Amino acid sequence: MSTSSTPDLVAYDDAVARFDPVVGLEVHVELNTATKMFSPAPTEFGAEPNTQVDPTSLGLPGSMPVLNAKAVESAIRMGLALNCSIAAECRFARKNYFYPDMPKNFQTSQYDEPIAFDGWLDVDVPANEAGEPAFTHRVEIERAHMEEDTGKSSHVGGATGRIHGAEYSLVDYNRAGIPLIEIVTRPITGAGPRVGEVARAYVATLRDLLKGLDVSDVKMEQGSMRCDVNLSLRDSPESRLGTRTETKNVNSLRSVERAVRYEVSRQAAVLLDGGSVLQETRHWHEDTGLTTSGRIKSDADDYRYFPEPDLVPVAPDPAWVEELRAALPEPPAARRRRLQGEWGLTDLDMRDLLNAGALDLVEATVVLGAPPAAARKWWTGELGRAANTRGTSLEELPVTPAQVAQLQALVDGGKLNDKLARQVLEHVLDGEGDPQQVVDARGLAVVSDDGALLAAVDEALAANPDVAGKIRDGKVQAAGAIVGAVMKATRGSADAARVRELVLERVASGA
HEC string of 58-87 equals CCCCCCCCCCCHHHHHHHHHHHHHCCCEEC
Q: Which of 278, 300, 322 is a domain's end point?
A: 300
Mark whether 204 and 84 lie in a shared domain.
yes
Residue 2: what pLDDT? 38
318 lies in some domain: no
Q: Is the confidence at residue 391, as pLDDT, over 60? A: yes
Work out the pLDDT band at 415, boundaries 50, 70, 90. confident
Residue 62: what pLDDT? 92
Enumerate long-range contacts of 488-493, CB under 8 Å, 24 or more apart.
489/456, 489/459, 489/460, 490/447, 490/456, 492/417, 492/419, 492/420, 492/423, 493/420, 493/444, 493/445, 493/446, 493/447
CA-CA distance, 149 to 28, in Å (whole number)?
Answer: 9
Rounded mean pLDDT, 332-358: 91
Sheet with 20-30, edge to edge strand ranges: 85-86, 116-125, 135-148, 179-185, 20-30, 225-234, 245-250, 280-285, 290-296
The CATH number covering residue 464 comes to 1.10.10.410
Mark whether 142 and 211 lie in a shared domain.
yes
Let me know the angle formed at the C-alpha of 341 by 336 and 343, rounded to the nearest 5 degrees: 95
Residue 5: what pLDDT? 45
Q: Is the confidence at residue 14, as pLDDT, over 70? A: yes
Residue 296: what pLDDT? 77
Residue 148 β-bridge partners: 179
CA-CA distance, 31 to 225, in Å (whole number)?
Answer: 9
pLDDT digits (tens, 9 = 90+) for 18-37: 999 999 999 999 999 999 99
430 lies in some domain: yes
175 in Cβ contact with 134 (< 8 Å): no
Let me know the angle formed at the C-alpha of 27 by 23 and 242, rounded to the nearest 5 degrees: 20
Q: Is the confidence at residue 403, as pLDDT, over 80? A: yes
| DSSP H/E element including 226 | strand 225-234
Query: What 8-state DSSP symbol labels residue 478?
Result: G
pLDDT digits (tens, 9 = 90+) for 228-259: 999 999 999 999 999 999 999 899 999 999 99
313 lies in some domain: no
Question: Lowest-confidence range among 67-71, 97-101, 155-159, 235-239?
Answer: 97-101
Burial of 211 (0-12, 13-18, 19+ CB in 10 A): middle
43 lies in some domain: yes
Work out the pLDDT band at 197, boundaries 50, 70, 90. very high
306 lies in some domain: no
Q: Is the confidence at residue 511, as pLDDT, over 60? A: no
Mark whether 339 and 460 lie in a shared domain.
no
Mark whether 361 and 236 lie in a shared domain.
no
162 lies in some domain: yes
Mark whether 148 and 268 lie in a shared domain.
yes
Q: Alpha-carbon dihedral of residues 71, 76, 82, 84, nearest 10 degrees?
A: 140
The count of residues in the chain is 511
CA-CA distance, 459 to 468, in Å (whole number)?
Answer: 12
Mark whether 387 and 429 lie in a shared domain.
yes
Listed residue (183, 220, 200) closest to 260, CA to CA: 200
Average pLDDT of the residues of the chain: 89
Computed on alpha carbons and rounded to an integer, the radius of gyration of the chain in Å comes to 30
241 in Cβ contact with 23 (< 8 Å): no
Q: Which of 416, 442, 468 is a domain's end point?
A: 442
Dihedral sign computed on CA atoms, order 273, 277, 278, 284 = positive
Mark whether 399 and 341 lie in a shared domain.
yes
362 lies in some domain: yes
pLDDT digits (tens, 9 = 90+) for 438-486: 988 887 766 554 555 666 666 777 777 776 767 766 677 777 777 777 6
CA-CA distance, 1 to 273, in Å (whole number)?
Answer: 7
Rounded mean pLDDT, 301-330: 93
Residue 447: what pLDDT? 54
CA-CA distance, 182 to 28, in Å (whole number)?
Answer: 4
Mark whether 225 and 362 lie in a shared domain.
no
Cβ–Cβ contacts within 10 Å for residue 479, how many? 21
Rounded mean pLDDT, 357-367: 95
Q: Which of 442, 467, 495 is a domain's end point?
A: 442
Mark whether 392 and 490 lie in a shared domain.
no
Mark whether 136 and 278 lie in a shared domain.
yes
62 in Cβ contact with 55 (< 8 Å): yes
Mark whether 252 and 340 lie in a shared domain.
no
- For 286, the domain range is 3-300
Cα-based distances in Å from 374 to 59, 370, 381, 402, 417:
55, 7, 10, 13, 13
Phi-psi region of 399 (alpha: psi -120 to 50; beta: other; left: phi over 0): beta
Q: Is the confidence at residue 508, as pLDDT, over 80? A: no
CA-CA distance, 28 to 216, in Å (whole number)?
Answer: 11
Q: Is the confidence at residue 498, as pLDDT, over 70? A: no
467 lies in some domain: yes
Residue 452: what pLDDT? 55
Cβ–Cβ contacts within 10 Å for residue 304, how many? 12
| DSSP H/E element including 422 | helix 418-429
Residue 1: what pLDDT? 40
Largest CA distance in the chain: 99
SS3 content of the chain, % helix, strand, coil (to 5): 40, 20, 40
Dihedral sign computed on CA atoms, order 495, 497, 502, 503 = positive
Mark whether 80 and 199 lie in a shared domain.
yes
Residue 495: what pLDDT? 63
Work out the pLDDT band at 210, boundaries 50, 70, 90. very high
Burial of 262 (0-12, 13-18, 19+ CB in 10 A): buried
Task: Reduce the DSSP state of residue 219 to 3 states and report it.
Answer: coil
In total, how many domains does the chain have? Answer: 3
